[in-house]
Amino acid sequence: MNEFVILTITAMVPFVFVAQGTMLSGRAGIFNVAQEGLMLLGAAVGYLVSLSVGSDLAGLVVAGFAGAVFGLILAWATTYLRLDQFVVGLALFFLSGGTASLLYRLVIGQDEPPRIKPLPEVVLGLDAMVLAAVALSVALWWWLYRTDAGMRLRSVGENPKAADALGIPVFRTRMVAGTVGAALMAVGGAYLPMVFSGVYADGIVAGRGWLAIALAFFGGWRPQFILIGSAFFAAMDVLAQKAQVTGLGIPHQFVSMLPYLATLLVMVFAFRWALVPGFLGRNYDRESRITS
């Protein structure tokens, strides 16, 4: 397949996983802002497990579990203790990022890190995680918009009081969505050393976590648009890198700005459909008399 397409699709994968995880949590009302740290944790755990076990799949799975633990803490602290989501998320960002560096330092130390073998190509020069990313997006869309369970989850993120009155388990839904969402973020992080670098480094995430939050807003918190948005952003990024090599007569730094400026520009024109879950970032107090 065309090299540009392959590069774009590969660059898209981590964004899809992390942004869909953000969306899934957000649709239940939990606004996770620990992406950057969770991706770093996923990258460190994924790399270390893959290195010691020799299986990338094991690395991805364990990374997912590591992310799930932090997601569970976030969901519990915001749902049952009703602590500020943004504050807890950032605290967990620091904790998970610190844990990632610490784990790596403990196992590898200051030595030259051995490379893990890259994910095998499955079809047309693409690895299985690409297929998984697309399948995840389609499945999330179908689940959220075509099943009762999905509608219940969305209702928790829009109006938990109404959902509660209908007998939907608001607390449990938030716990599950927060945990699974964080697991997806860590898996997205684990993809980075397995495809791009082969090794873990503290700067490996390079702001992708923050961009994933931007992509969740960009996609209006809907899985299908998040997939498109991730592809768009990845394509712009690859184009910028290509232009950097071939040269366009303008400084390459300005070309590198384009993906970010383009995303911002699209947001400006898309602000009408850029919906946000009604209860995003807020905590449900069952005993409060204030509705919505």
Partner 1 sequence: MTTTSTTPAPSSQPSAASRRARLSLGAALPYAIAVVAAFAVVAVLIVALGHDPIQAFRAVLTNSFRNQTGVVQTLQKWVPLTLLALAFVIPLAAGRFNIGGEGQMILGATGAVAVGIVGSGLPAAVLLPLVVLAGVLAGALWAAVSAWLMDRFSVNEILSTVLLNFVSFELLDYIASSVWSDPGAGGAVTIPIAAAAELPTVGRPPMHIGVILVAFLAAGAAVLARRSTAGYELRAVGLNERAAKLHGIRTSRVAVASMVVAGAIGGLAGAVEVVGVHHRMLEGIQSNFLLLGIIIGLIARGSLTAVPFVAFGIAVLEVGAGSMQRASGVPVEIVLILEGLILLFLLMSDVIADRVRRSRTVAVAAQEATA
Q: Please report, as ranges, the residues that interact with partner 1 according to CB under 8 A.
A: 77, 81, 83-84, 86-88, 90-95, 97-99, 101-102, 105-106, 207, 210-211, 213-214, 217-218, 251, 253-254, 256-257, 260-261, 263-264, 267-268, 271, 274, 276, 285, 287-288
The distance of closest approach from Cβ of residue 263 to partner 1 in the complex, given in angstroms and rounded to an integer, is 6
The nearer residue to partner 1, 117 or 286, going by C-beta atoms, is: 286
The distance of closest approach from Cβ of residue 21 to partner 1 in the complex, given in angstroms and rounded to an integer, is 17
DSSP-H helix ranges across 109-198: 128-146, 148-158, 160-165, 170-192
The distance of closest approach from Cβ of residue 91 to partner 1 in the complex, given in angstroms and rounded to an integer, is 4
The distance of closest approach from Cβ of residue 26 to partner 1 in the complex, given in angstroms and rounded to an integer, is 12
CA distance 246 to 139: 39
Strand partners, 123: 126
Please, which residues have CB within 8 angstroms of residue 242's CB and are 6 or more apart in sequence? 4
The nearer residue to partner 1, 162 or 274, going by C-beta atoms, is: 274
The distance of closest approach from Cβ of residue 119 to partner 1 in the complex, given in angstroms and rounded to an integer, is 27
Residues 96, 97, 100, 106: is their CA dihedral positive or negative? negative
Q: 161-191 burial string, b = 16+ CB within 10 Å, else e?
A: bebbeeebebbebbbbbbbbbbbbbbbbbbb
- Fill in the DSSP letter of residue 112: P
The nearer residue to partner 1, 56 or 259, going by C-beta atoms, is: 259
CA distance 174 to 132: 24
The distance of closest approach from Cβ of residue 141 to partner 1 in the complex, given in angstroms and rounded to an integer, is 22
The nearer residue to partner 1, 35 or 50, going by C-beta atoms, is: 35
The nearer residue to partner 1, 61 or 266, going by C-beta atoms, is: 266
The nearer residue to partner 1, 52 or 288, going by C-beta atoms, is: 288
The count of residues in the chain is 292
